[in-house]
Amino acid sequence: MIELGESSTSSFLDNLKVGVVIPAAGSGQRMEGKPKQFLQLAGQPVLKHVLNLFLSYSWVKDLVVALPQKQFEEQPSWLNQDSKVQWVVGGATRRDSVWSAIQALSEDLDLVIVHDGARPLTSKKTIFDCVKVASEGLGAVAGTRVVDTLKATDKNNQVLKTLDRSDVWRAQTPQVFPYDVLFGAYHKAIQNDWIAGDDSIIVERAGGQVKMVECSLLNFKITFPPDLDLAEAVLACSKS
């Protein structure tokens, strides 16, 4: 079941200025070359579901989407429906796309939420829980605990050992950080060309403290073709 509500009333949010960065400039290499953020899910593009998650909040002051060059030049009309939304051209890596978007945010923000443009089933509770942790000055990363047994192998898949999975998580998004922490860490990452698959890696490397926030297993990223069918099924179930 999708978690629908926030875990408690959100009055502390009324005093916060929050920006949202959505990296959506990927090329969809694992989705048969189709950028997954523009595929249709339950009657609208995946990325539109993601925008809808954040545009309903009055405390979201600024939202920047990093787009591929083609969609930046010919923006689909559904992207153009809220004055809070700005677009930038993404870069060669997710890191570069996020950095371009961070630079386009207004500078008087308290917190920044970074959320993948291909992760449409995130619940309001997860967003709220991450924002709450970040409002205490930490980085907050949505994720799930690893439940399967973990094996380390050699190049021929020969098992070398079984790893301890306690305290091991899968890191996802949203990832929420104080604005200054995220900006400073990304600035260092770009100057020093740190390779990073997500934002928390950059903040950790820059010395920031990051906490995991447990979210639903349904917070998965549309990555492979079957993920789209699964997301359709989840949305159909949540309506019935």
Binding positions for ligand C5P, rule: CB under 6 A = 23-26, 37, 66, 90-94, 97, 116-118, 221, 223
User: At closest approach, how far in Å is the CB of 39 from ligand C5P?
Assistant: 12
Alpha-carbon distance 147 to 75, whole Å? 41
Exposure of 17 by Cβ count < 10 A (0-12 exposed, 13-18 middle, 19+ buried)? middle
Q: How far is the CB of 187 from ligand C5P (least distance, A)?
A: 18
DSSP letter, residue 193 = T
User: Whose Cβ is closer to ligand C5P: residue 27's or residue 209's?
Assistant: 27
Alpha-carbon span 49 to 61, nearest angstrom: 18
Q: Which is nearer to ligand C5P, 13 or 118 (CB)?
A: 118
Which residue has the closest beta carbon to ligand C5P? 26
Distance (Å, whole) CA 109 – CA 104: 12
Residue number with CB closer to ligand C5P (23 or 45)? 23
Q: What is the DSSP letter of 36?
A: G
Comparing CB distances to ligand C5P, the nearer of 37 and 135 is: 37
How far is the CA of 92 from the CAs of 95, 169, 171, 188, 194, in angstroms?
A: 8, 27, 22, 18, 14
Q: What is the CA radius of gyration of the chain?
A: 18
Determine how many CB atoms are found less than 10 A away from the CB of residue 236. Answer: 10
Least separation, in Å, of the C-beta of 161 and ligand C5P? 28
Min dist. Cβ of residue 171 to ligand C5P (A): 11
Q: How far is the CB of 149 from ligand C5P (least distance, A)?
A: 25
Pick 23 or 139: Cβ nearer ligand C5P: 23
CB of 137 to ligand C5P, least distance (A): 26
Which one, 59 or 72, has the nearer CB to ligand C5P? 72
82 φ/ψ sector (left φ>0, alpha ψ -120 to 50, else beta): beta
